[in-house]
Amino acid sequence: MRYIVIGKRIFFAFCLLFATICVVLVYSAGQVLQTAGRAVHKYPIYSVETDKQQVALGINCAWDNADIPQLIRILDEYNVKATFFVVGDWCDKYPESVRALHDAGHEIGSHSDTHADMTRLDRAGMIREIQDSADKIEAITGERPILFRTPSGAYNATVVEVIEQQGFYPIQWDCDLIDMKTINRL
């Protein structure tokens, strides 16, 4: 059997290195255990698993209301219900359109109050955008929305967290018109 003889300094350095590695491993394991019980990343809802062959149709209302009567008529003709995500400013301009969509049996979701980029707002600004739009929708329809879609689809973990803390489901799309144009060219 062979033995390696090392000096006190090398032995001390080896022990220090070993202790450092142990501390790092224990700390890392603790971090993993702390995050194991909660989601590290937050995401909006893109789709919902179902056995039925169906799609959820979401339509954003932020600019004008010229197409609303025609949309209601077409959707009614084909017995289709959609979720209209309306901006609070749009509610201010076109309350009759919000009421008509609701009265036609479509769900009204929130799309913020001013169509602001939620990722550029602080928490208080996000809450204001969410709650102010919901207040306007409820004042017109008599029902408080439970769905919230961020303007331009811009979100991060904080935005999703604030939306959920305010009692809303954050909704995102998984296919949009740009995707459909690509599919139609195939």
- Closest to 73 in 3D by CA, of 96, 95, 104: 104
Residue 160 makes CB contacts below 8 A (sequence gap 6+) with: 42, 43, 44, 170
Helices 95-103 and 68-77: angle between axes, nearest 10 degrees: 0
d(CA 31, CA 9): 33
Q: What is the pLDDT of residue 50?
A: 86
**∠ at Cα 64 (45, 123), nearest 5°?**
45
**What percent of the chain lies above the pLDDT cut of 90?**
59
Residue 177 in 3-state DSSP? helix
DSSP 67: T
Q: Which residue has the higher pLDDT, 180 or 149?
A: 149
Across residues 155-162, what is the average pLDDT? 94
Q: What is the pLDDT of residue 54?
A: 84
d(CA 73, CA 75): 6
Distance of alpha carbon 57 from its chain centroid, rounded?
16
Contact 103/141 with Cβ under 8 angstroms?
no
Tell me the CA distances in angstroms from 57 to 11, 64, 84, 108, 152, one per residue in order.
69, 19, 8, 12, 17
- Residue 46's pLDDT band (cuts 50, 70, 90): confident
- Residue 178's pLDDT band (cuts 50, 70, 90): low
Burial of 59 (0-12, 13-18, 19+ CB in 10 A): middle
- Residue 153's pLDDT band (cuts 50, 70, 90): confident
Beta bridge partners of 85: 60, 109
